[in-house]
Amino acid sequence: MSNSFIECRSLSKQYKSKRQTINAVTDINLQVQRNEMIILKGRSGAGKSTLLNLICGLISPTSGTIRIGDKMINELDDKSLSNLLLTQIGIIFQSFNLLPTYNIYENIEVALAPKGLGHKDIQKLVLPYLEQFQLTDKLHLLPEELSVGQQQKVAIIRTLVKQPSIILADEPTGSVDDETAREILEYLRYLREEKKVTIILATHGIIPDTFADRVFTIENGRINN
């Protein structure tokens, strides 16, 4: 076992349909150190989102292994994986994945629900973030009542309230204006530098390479250093 924090070995993911087999990710080997920030760069459909989903266990690999710390992700049972997602891994989805019938506060609160925290404890965790991202007055609105940039911020807050040690961000600036994008990237840099969070960013090229420690390019499901 290497001393990297996150390690993917010979990782492949195939999607099979009746007509064809799609190799979304093929034989990927990747090592990420603790407190490192890396960028996965590639066109749409290159396999970036699939790789992020594999790393956090949201989908199972066809072959290969994923390790985070001392835990083999693809061997974890549901309880252990849920616990990992609840306490250590935060995912920022490309499409935000906000719950359309929950208001903003509830969308964030729902990420803490399985922890069994009290109402006041949840408020203590959520409200500072809402203030920081200037969403305090939007608490009771539904996601569809917010701008795209504001929805992205809600998705980020939902990830941050869990205080994860790893953040997997799939196109976090893909749908927002330049100002909001800069704001989000600055905050991710702050998290990495001040909170020692390990961050993997997937982007199709908007984020400058200098922003990360290392940049990997994904093409047709294969990784090129």
Partner 1 sequence: MRYIFKELRRHLWRTIFSIIGYAIASIFILIILCITGSNKNDSFGILQTTGTHFIAYIPTNASCCSSCSSGEANGSVFAEGVNTIMLDRDLLQTIKYTEGIKDAAPCLLYKMFNESFQSDISISGIDTTSIATRNNVCARTNLIAGRFISSDPDEIVAEQSFAVAHKLKLGDTLNVFGGKMVLTGIINSGIKPVKADFYAPIEIVRSILKDRLQCNSSDFDMNIILVEVSDARMQDAVIRHIKNMMYKFSVSTYNCYEPAYKVMSIIDKSSLGLTILIFIFLVIFSAKTQLSALIERFREIGILKSLGWSNFDLGTHILIVSFIQSIIGVTMGLLLGIGAIQIITNMKIPLFQYIEFRFQYTSIPLLYCLSLVGAFIASIFPIIRIYRSKAGDIIKNYL
Applying CB under 8 A, the residues found at the interface with partner 1 are: 53, 56, 58-60, 78-79, 82-87, 91, 93, 95, 97, 99, 101-102, 106, 110-111, 113-114, 119, 158, 162
Between the alpha carbon of residue 170 and those of residues 48, 71, 88, 110, 173, the distances in Å are 8, 23, 17, 20, 9
81: amino acid identity, one letter: L
Q: For the CB of residue 99, give the shortest distance to partner 1 in the complex, in Å.
A: 5
Q: Which is nearer to partner 1, 166 or 212 (CB)?
A: 166
Q: Report, in Å, the least distance between residue 157 CB and partner 1.
A: 13
Shortest distance in whole angstroms from residue 61 CB to partner 1: 11
| Minimum CB–partner distance for residue 102 and partner 1 (Å) | 7
Give the Cα separation of 23 and 25 in Å (integer): 6
Whole-number minimum distance, CB 184 to partner 1, in Å? 19
The answer to whether 164 and 16 are in contact (CB under 8 A) is no
Which residue, 80 or 134, has its beta carbon nearer to partner 1? 80
In terms of phi and psi (left: phi > 0; alpha: psi -120 to 50; beta: otherwise), the region of 168 is beta
Is 3 or 119 the residue whose CB approaches partner 1 more closely? 119
* Residue 93 vs 216, nearer CB to partner 1: 93
Does residue 104 sit in helix, strand or coil? helix
DSSP code of residue 98: -
User: Of the two residues 83 and 175, which places its CB atom closer to partner 1 in the complex?
Assistant: 83
Q: In angstroms, rounded to a whole number, what is the distance separating the alpha carbons of residues 167 and 160?
A: 9
Of 18 and 225, nearer to partner 1 (C-beta) is 18
**Please, are residues 193 and 204 in contact by the beta-carbon 8 Å criterion?**
no
* Sign of the dihedral defined by the CA atoms of residues 144, 183, 172, 123, in that order: negative
- Residue 3: CB minimum distance to partner 1, A: 27
The strand pair at 21-32 and 166-170 is best described as unpaired
